[in-house]
Amino acid sequence: MTEDAIVANGITKAYGSMTAVDHVSFRVPSGGIFGLVGPNGAGKTTIIKVLTGLSDLTGGNAQVAGFDVRKYPMEVKQRIGWVAAEVILDDDFSGWENLWLQAKFQRVSEWKGRAKQLLDYFALSAFKDNKVGTYSTGMRKKLEIALALLHEPQIIFMDEPTIGLDPGTRRMLWELITGVNREYGITIFLTSHYIEEADALCSQVAILDQGKIAAMGSPNDLKARVQGDYIELETGEPVNETRLLAIPGVREVRAQGRTWILKVDRSEEFLPSLFDHVKPDLIHKINVEKPSLESVFMQLTGKRIDQAGAEVQDYRKFYANVRRARG
Ligand SMILES: Nc1ncnc2c1ncn2[C@@H]1O[C@H](COP(=O)(O)OP(=O)(O)OP(=O)(O)O)[C@@H](O)[C@H]1O
Ligand SMILES: [Mg+2]
């Protein structure tokens, strides 16, 4: 494999007149964890689909594991694993039977040794003969990752691996993802709209907004670009924007619904003077955002990532909950 596991050169995907992915370029070094972060509808899944050969490119080109995705889709597919955002397991089959199905699907003949080793690694051996319908959400996720690893891929694509999971299961998965990366030496390409997830896991992050890359770099490089803190302020009554701008240390003021987003030099100095300018009983909520990937996103787009494309998220959480209830 070349030094870069994935190279995307101006990749573009249009659905009719709608451009879902617009001239996106990046490189993913072999052995790293690369995160594509963006709100609902930003184009994350579309990028995974074109890189895995599931969907054709409208423009640009990409190499995955050293092969052009358009010219050599089979070579690419043999070298990659995919963990979809949707559940792909068959509930009526046992864990072992799901692995057997995956081996058939991937045309791997010598799969049993590897399958046993993966079940051990993910602490699923004791449950291998139980129907997957009886598994917890965390066990299902582990099995999905085991399936993706069965044919010994060089790169794994994970589309929102922790969507709809409770915080404990999410942390467990974070450890597994870094473990798989380190112990199996596999390059991981993941998408997320949980910005702290990318911060915790990824060596490189690309922030995607409306089909375009807004910023790219290591989490620390990106955070270093934000100077100052963000304050979210929710008030009971409308507050005059010029009054907020007049407070010493305020650099920018933006309205988002009933909330104000203020950019200030230092929140420690700003907060006492805020109360001199706005009566404390008018203030319903204050949230201080120190430099983080979230504040990078706010600086670039003027929105919070979780509020940049809200309505889709709810139904996906709903389905995630339905799945959990079934499990
Ligand atoms: N098959 C399709 N036909 C038409 N439009 C599509 C299709 N697939 C995706 N889109 C549109 O392309 C845009 C990007 O969608 P995509 O699913 O890649 O976003 P995403 O970042 O994965 O969002 P989410 O966080 O909701 O998964 C959206 O506006 C979506 O409606
Ligand atoms: Mg998606």
Question: Is the Cβ–Cβ distance between 6 and 51 less than 8 Å?
Answer: yes
Q: What is the pLDDT of residues 110-147, one digit of tens each?
A: 999 999 999 999 999 999 999 999 999 889 999 999 99
> Tell me, what's the pLDDT at 120?
95
List, in sequence order, the alpha helices (H) in the chain: 44-51, 73-79, 95-106, 112-121, 137-149, 167-183, 195-201, 219-224, 241-245, 267-277, 293-301, 310-326
The residue written with tokens 């910023």 in the block is 215
The two beta strands, 212-217 and 204-209, are antiparallel
pLDDT score of 311 more than 60: no
Instruction: Give, for ligand 1, the residue of 44, 212, 312 to mutate: max count of ligand atoms closer than 8 Å to Cβ.
Output: 44
Q: Is the CB of 192 under 6 A from ligand 1?
A: no
Question: Is the Cβ–Cβ distance between 25 and 10 less than 8 Å?
Answer: yes
List, in sequence order, the alpha helices (H) in 122-237: 137-149, 167-183, 195-201, 219-224
Name the amino acid, one letter, at 89.
Answer: L
The two beta strands, 80-83 and 155-159, are parallel
Q: What is the pLDDT of residues 197-252, one digit of tens each?
A: 998 999 999 999 999 999 999 988 888 887 888 899 998 888 888 888 988 889 99
Rounded Cα–Cα distance for residues 206 and 189 (Å): 11
Q: What is the pLDDT of residues 57-88, one digit of tens each?
A: 999 999 999 999 999 999 999 999 999 877 77
Nearest bound ligand to CA 310? 1
Residue closest by Cα to atom 18 of ligand 1: 43
Q: Is the CB of 42 under 6 A from ligand 1?
A: yes
pLDDT range class, residue 298, cuts 50, 70, 90? confident
Structure-block tokens of residue 218 = 């290591």
pLDDT range class, residue 42, cuts 50, 70, 90? very high
Query: Could you give the C-alpha distances from 114 to 100, 109, 215, 291, in angstroms and in order?
Result: 11, 11, 39, 43
pTM, rounded to two decimals: 0.81
- Give whichever of 13-17, 237-241, 252-256, 290-294 has the largest mean pLDDT: 13-17
pLDDT range class, residue 1, cuts 50, 70, 90? very low
Residue closest by Cα to atom 2 of ligand 1: 15
pLDDT score of 186 more than 60: yes
> Tell me, what's the pLDDT at 324?
54
Question: Is the Cβ–Cβ distance between 154 and 5 less than 8 Å?
Answer: yes
- Nearest to 37, CA basis, from 150, 160, 157: 160
Q: What is the mean pLDDT of the chain?
A: 88
Q: What percent of the chain has pLDDT over 90?
A: 58
Instruction: Give, for ligand 1, the residue of 13, 15, 48, 82 to mutate: max count of ligand atoms closer than 8 Å to Cβ.
Output: 15
Number of H helices, E strands in the chain: 12, 14
Phi, psi (deg, nearest 5) at residue 171: -65, -40
Query: Could you give the C-alpha distances from 172 to 142, 147, 165, 201, 310, in angstroms and in order?
Result: 10, 18, 10, 12, 26
pLDDT score of 266 more than 90: no
Instruction: Give, for ligand 1, the residue of 21, 37, 46 to mutate: max count of ligand atoms closer than 8 Å to Cβ.
Output: 46
Q: Is the CB of 173 under 6 A from ligand 1?
A: no
> Tell me, what's the pLDDT at 312?
46
Partner residues linked to 67 by β-bridges: 64
- Nearest to 263, CA basis, from 227, 297, 315: 227
Q: Is the CB of 306 under 6 A from ligand 1?
A: no
Rounded Cα–Cα distance for residues 178 and 184 (Å): 10
